[in-house]
Structure 1
Amino acid sequence: MRSDQAKGDILAEAYRRSRGPVAYLDESYQVPDPNNPGAKTFYLFSAVVVERDAMAELRVGLRRIAGSTWWHTTAALQHAEGQRRTRDMLSFLADGFEACVIAHRIPVSVHDHTAEEARRACYRGLATDLTTEIPGEWAPVELIVLEERNTMNLRGKDKKNHNELVAEKLIPRNARLLQTSPGIERLLWLPDLVSAAYRRTITHRDHTRTLFDLISQQVRFVQPIE
C-alpha cells in the first residue's frame, strides 16, 4: 500500500488534471447467506457530486460535526451520540446543492455470493450517469473518487469495471477512476452517509429509518447496467 503522503499527492494531481465537479462513491451491501436463506439481500452504490468551490467548506463542516478526523457512519449509528452526529451531517449535506445518486440491486442473486456482480452492475449504472451532463444538476464528471478496497485483487476488479465502460464507449476516455481512502479525502464521508441512511430504510424499523428523509429530495436513482 502507498503511504498517505503518496496517496495525497496522487489525489491532488488528479484534481489538477480534471475539470468540473467530482463524484465521490461508497457502497453498502448484505450478501446472500446460505445459513440464513430468508435474510434480505441488497447492494447499493451511492455517489455524491461536489462542485470544486464547495469542497473546502464541506471538509471543514464534516470535521466540525464529527468532532474527529475519523468517521464511519455504520459505527456511529450504534450509539445515541453518533446517531445525533449522523443526523447533523445529513442536515448539513441537505443544506447544500450536492446531488446524490444511488444505484441498487435488491435482492442480490443467490448465486452472487460475494456481490461482485451486483457491484459491477451498480458501478456501471452510476458511472454512465455521472459522466453524462444532467442539465440543472451537474456538468459531466471527469473524476470519480471511490473508497478503495483492502486488497490489490479487489482494487483491480474495480479498475477493470471502469476500463470496460471506456472500452464499450459508455463513458468518455477522459473519465478517470481514482481509488483512495477516507483518511486521505474526507469528502468520501458523504457517500458513506448516503449509503448508510438508505440502508436503514431496508434493514431497520426504528427512528433511524427516517434519516434518509433528510436528503431524499436531492437523491436521484439510476438503474444498474449489466
Structure 2
Amino acid sequence: MTDDSAARVIRALLDYGSIWTTHDLVDLSQAPAPAVRRIIDDLSAISLVERRRGGIIAVPDWSRLLRHWAADSSAPAASQLSRWKPASSHDDLFTDIATSPLRYALTGTHAAAFWTADPTEDDPVIYTPDPQAAATAWDLTPSPTGTVVLVQPTTEVVYTRRRSTPTGLRLAAPTQVLADLLTPEEDPTRKRPSSSPAGCKPTSAHGATSSRPNPPYQLGSRSIGLSRADWEMTPAGAGQRNVLKAHYERVGSGPVAYLDETYHVEQDGRPQFYVMAAVVVLEPDRDALRNEIDGLVPSGWWHTTNELRSADGRARVRTLLETLRVPDETCIVVDKVSVNHGDDKDGTRARGSVLGRLLTVLHTAEHGTHPPVGLAVLEEHRVARINNYDRAVRAGLIAAGGIAESMALVSVSPGSEHLLWLPDLVCSAYRQKMVAGRRDLFDAIENLTHVVQLP
C-alpha cells in the first residue's frame, strides 16, 4: 500500500479526527474513487478502519494506522537524500528559507520541536522537489558530512496540509513528521541518518551522500512523542461539518455548549482531579465569536498547553479568553476532586460523573445565566470506547429523567469547530489556578464562570 493514492487516503484518515464516507475521502484526498474504495477495503481487511452503518468509515486506533503506514512506506525506492553544508547556523538557514518561494517542508526532530518545545541537535531534514535548486537558493554546499539533509520525495503528499510557524517557516504536517520519526518495529537494530524520513536511504543525488549511523527514533522516545492535541487541530472532514450543520439547524436559535476536559488521575503524589468545562454561546453570537477567534489565530491551529510554554503564548491565551463576555457567553466548570482508584484507575467513572452533572446543569439552565441548552459539542476522543461511554452517560440521564431526549451530545474534532478552542482555554485557566496557584488567566473569565464542585 505504497502508491500515491494510498498515501493521500491514509494521510486524510490520520490528519483529521473525523468519520467519513467514501465521497468525503475522494473529495479530500483527490484520489480516484476506485482507488479509495480499494484502499479502504485493504485497510478494513486488517482492521485498521471499520465500516459502520450508513456507509460510514472510521479509524478505531489512530496510532496503529500511523505505525502501519510508516512501516509500509519505509523504503521508497526512488527517494533521494543528500547532505549539504549550510553557510552559517541552522537558525540562520531557517530564517532565510522562511521567506523562500521554493516548495519545501521541514520534517524530523526540528519540525517536532516546534510542537514539543524540546531542543534538538539533530540534522535538519527538508523535503523539496529540486534539491539542487534549493541548495543554490539557500547557499548550501554539497558535503559528505553536511548537517542539512534534503529529501526529494516520490509523492506530493509530504507537502499536504503543511503548518507554518509565526516566522513563516513551513513544516510538514504533524502526522507526516511522526511517520518520518517512526522506526520500523520489525528490525530494532536498523540505523538511518539522524531525523531522516523513515526508509529514506542516502543515494547519489545532486549533493554528497553519507551513511553515517545515528540512533533510530520511535514514537514517544526522547520526548518526541507529540501530545494528541498537537496533531488533531487540522480542519476536519466534510462528514463532521455536515453533522454539525444538521445539529445547528435543529437547535435553531437555542444556545450551544462547547465542552472540554482536564484531569490528573494517576497516583503519583500530586493532587487528583477530573474537570470538565463548558462554554455556552448564544446563537446570535456564534458566528461572530468564531470569526473573532479565527482572526486572532490566523494559522487555524491552536492548543493552549503549547502556548503556555512561553510568555508571549500566555499573553495570547489571555487575549483569547477575553473574547468571552457577559452576557453573550457563560462558562460552567464541574470539578470532581475524588477519584476512586479501586474501580476507576483510568478516571473513566469520574469522567462519567462530571459529564453527567455538566449536561444536567446545561440543559436545565441551573444558574439562570443562559437559556436551556439543547446541544453540547464535545471534543471527539480517539478511543472509540470513550466516545461510546459518553453516549451511554447521556442515555442514562435521559432514562433517569435528568435531561430530555432532545438534549443532543455530538463529538467532533476541534478542527471542524474552532469554538472548541474556548473550553480548552477555560480548562487550562482553571487548572493553572487550581494546580499552580496562578490566577491571572482565570481572573479574565471569573465574572462569567460558575464552578460546580463534586465530592
SS in 1 for 2:323: helix
Alpha carbons 1:122, 1:223 under 8 Å: kept: no
> Paired residue for 2:157?
none
Looking at structure 1, the residues matched to 420 and 287 of structure 2 have their Cα atoms a distance apart, in angstroms, of 13
What corresponds to 2:447 in structure 1? Answer: 217
1:57-72 to 2 correspondences below 5 Å? 57-72=288-303
Q: Which structure carries more relative contact order (alpha carbon 8 Å, separation 6+)?
A: 1
**Structure 1 unaligned residues grouped into runs of 5+:** none
Matches within 5 A, 1:101-120: 101-111=332-342, 112-120=344-352
Instruction: Return the alpha-carbon distance in structure 2 between the equivalents of residues 187 and 82 of structure 1.
Output: 19
- C-alpha offsets along residues 131-176 of structure 1, whole Å, 9 cap, x if unaligned? 1135751111111111110121111011111111011110011111
SS, match of residue 140 in structure 1:
coil
Write the distance in 1 (CA, Å) between the matches of 2:261 and 2:443.
Answer: 19
- Which residue number corresponds to residue 204 of structure 1? 436
Residue in structure 1 matching 2:392, options 152, 155, 160: 160
Residue 25 in structure 1 maps to residue 259 in structure 2 = yes
What do residues 165-205 of structure 1 show as CA deviations (whole Å, max 9, x unaligned)? Answer: 01111001111111101100011111111001000012214
- Cα distance, 1:79 vs structure 2: 1.5
Shift of 1:25: 0.5
- Cα contact 2:260–2:277 (8 A) shared by 1: yes
Q: Does 1:15 align with 2:245?
A: no
Within the alignment, does 1:133 sit opposite 2:369 as a pair?
A: no
CA contact (8 A) 1:76 1:86 kept: yes
- SS across alignment from 1:197: helix
> 1:60-108 CA distances to partner (integer Å, 9 max, x unpaired)?
1111222321111111111222111101011121466301001011142
**Quick one: which amino acid aligns to residue 319 of structure 2?**
D
Q: Find the aligned partners of 1:24 and 1:185 in 2 and give their Cα distance.
A: 9
Rate the CA distance shift 1:181–1:151 in 2: closer, same or farther, 3 A. same
Which residue of structure 2 aligns with residue 147 of structure 1? 379
Task: Find 1:185's aligned residue among 384, 399, 417.
Answer: 417
2:372 is paired with a residue whose SS is: coil
CA distance in 2, matches of 1:16, 1:171: 20
- 2:331 aligns to what SS in structure 1? strand
Alignment check: 8 A CA contact 1:125 1:223 kept: no
Q: 1:88 to 1:6 in 2, by over 3 A?
A: same
Amino acid at match of 2:449: V
- TM-score (normalizing by structure 2): 0.46
Runs of 4+ with deviation above 2 angstroms: 94-97, 107-112, 133-136, 222-225
Alpha-carbon separation, structure 1, partners of 2:292 and 2:376: 22
Q: Which amino acid aligns with 1:2?
A: I
* Structure with the larger helix share: 1
CA positional deviation for 1:223: 4.3
- Aligned partners of 1:27 and 1:46 also within 8 Å: yes
CA RMSD of aligned residues (A): 1.7
Normalized against structure 1, the TM-score is what? 0.91
